[in-house]
Amino acid sequence: MSTQSPIQIGWREWLALPELGIPAIKAKVDTGAKTSALHAFLVEPFERGGRLQVRFGIHPLQRRKDVEVFCESEVVETRMVSDSGGHRENRYVIRTPVGLGPVSWPIEITLTNREEMVFRMLLGRSAMGAQVSIHPRVSYCTGRMKPSMLRQLYPQAQKIKKD
């Protein structure tokens, strides 16, 4: 990241994962989570050039199973992660740039099924570092997504309700 002062963010923000083809996803900023987590389904490992890769689907919009994006990424490692309920799960870890407002930087993200969770992504504290300053009482410091913007980004989503 090239800016010297941290970007101001709230407890939830719209961010982008451009290398995964995700132009917008609402994330909960979670300082209680060490690692970032991304909703993934149909997770399928495979090898390419002798390196472990993973193919997976994402439902990037809350409460919308009809909007799907399919991604591929190199696996950095697999890691045992405990969720907020204390359940342990071995997850694939990928590394990809995150775009938040005017800046972007690479982060590690674990893949897990968050279908029943309100937020499709958690931005954990290891992804934030000195890049961000969190204001826990506010939301969308880096900008709010209007339904018309989401319809442009995800044309398959005909009816997007107000946030």
Strand partners, 122: 28, 37
**Is 20 inside any structural domain?**
yes
**Is 161 inside any structural domain?**
no
Give the pLDDT of residue 162. Answer: 53
Please name the residues in contact with 103: beta carbons below 8 A apart, sequence gap of 6 or more.
Answer: 1, 2, 3, 7, 131
Residue 110 CA to residue 78 CA, distance in Å, equals: 8
pLDDT tens figures, 39-49: 999 999 999 99
Owning domain of residue 82: 7-153
Tell me how far the alpha carbon of residue 126 is from its chain's centroid.
13
**Is 24 inside any structural domain?**
yes
Mean pLDDT for all residues in the chain: 86
Give the pLDDT of residue 51. Answer: 94
Residue 130 has pLDDT above 80, yes or no: no
**Is 160 inside any structural domain?**
no
Residue 32 CA to residue 58 CA, distance in Å, equals: 23
More confident residue, 22 or 154: 22
Residue 18 has pLDDT above 70, yes or no: yes
In total, how many domains does the chain have? 1
Judged by average pLDDT, the poorest of 17-26, 69-78, 126-135 is 126-135
Residue 129 has pLDDT above 80, yes or no: no
Strand partners, 89: 81
**Is 57 inside any structural domain?**
yes
**Is 1 inside any structural domain?**
no
Give the pLDDT of residue 1. Answer: 45
The proportion of the chain whose per-residue pLDDT surpasses 90, expressed as a percent, equals: 44
Which CATH number belongs to the domain containing residue 127 in this structure? 2.40.70.10
